[in-house]
Structure 1
């Protein structure tokens, strides 16, 4: 069954074309071909060429470009101008996002929020045309904010991403990475926490993380059953007030039920 919207986003280094097909087959909702952090300065040109070839050959996915303050940014934009790739913008802020939106007209953009300045300006970022989703760059944000990695204080930033996503009428945001590669419980714990805060997906840095992330963000059997009963009760009500299990079902709950069922379509 295909996911209606991605729950997992798997990074693959742009200078490792030998891993592209494996990443695409790993079961992630989307693959992010990385031209930024995963690629050293000496390999930037080769990575850009490999990724451009992947898309030219019919491949799909997202490309994380280099930031506007780097010498590789302009070449990244030029290489992707005629390719059908969604763009992930690192250290996203409104002005930089708007400039990319103007240069790559109607191209889907994803904003990676990983600086204090980016978080402070988030309510303006969500107004940028073509923005589809926010993602939390938890490690870089932690360093920039001088907050220890894993601190509960980072949840304040997460909550702001959730609110801004709703204000911008975007998909629920994407949580940042879990650095533990071989600890399924760590992944499951982080997914449970992110989902409880309103996130709808997670960034992955290893194929082994994909399955537990997909499972963790999937609606439970109980949630699906509840949603189906809500919609059935609504259809049978013929416009009258709807009750289910002795409780009044109002518009927010109906919308939530539809969201659950849309996630398994």
Structure 2
């Protein structure tokens, strides 16, 4: 299934995308697409319902973040060896973890505000993993049983704040608008192999990133298992699994975003998103 949330910010309604690409309103069976719904029998029942049973939304308007009420965003740094190389860093021997604030979440096509004082605003296309069942000290073999589905994440970053201002990376990763997700939460039955997904990011029509999840240093199952050793992953939590090469910081010379630039991201099977940078 392809699940989404549509409507004004803070008042999104839950929906699904039918086989013809039309949005169907499922708010009569659930008020939202949040962790408590992803960890319930309701999601299983939706698999077996005919989408035609739900009303068509002729004009869904704005598409919001595909999951509501996210408790935490755990991100993985330098998880593609070629991205580590362009950053001048060695590929990690175990996952590098950092957090993004949940206040950074926006819809897949919402504008990205350039924060006051920003000078090195950058893009990062990433595979997002949404937890569907509580995970605590789970083994790698069982890890995907705790995954609800996948989505596109743009891990927008302010490099000067991330790398030049000392302390943890979270400072450069958490401003408002720094985490567009969606358009859809695609349930894992539609993505049988999360380690073979092509991904691209363009800026103003120019291809900047082109990669595939098969080149991850640490795969999805390993990451879910690994992270669950350090913190309990709750239903609705989001893991951003790292980015392939081609970020602005890695260009020669570096290229950073400015107001007016438009980013377009696409991952096979997960749809596409587009954001304009605004002052």
Q: Give the shorter-chain TM-score range.
A: under 0.3
TM (norm. structure 2) is 0.25
Greater helix fraction, Structure 1 or Structure 2: 1
TM (norm. structure 1) is 0.26
Greater strand fraction, Structure 1 or Structure 2: 2
**Higher RCO, Cα 8 Å, sep 6+:** 2
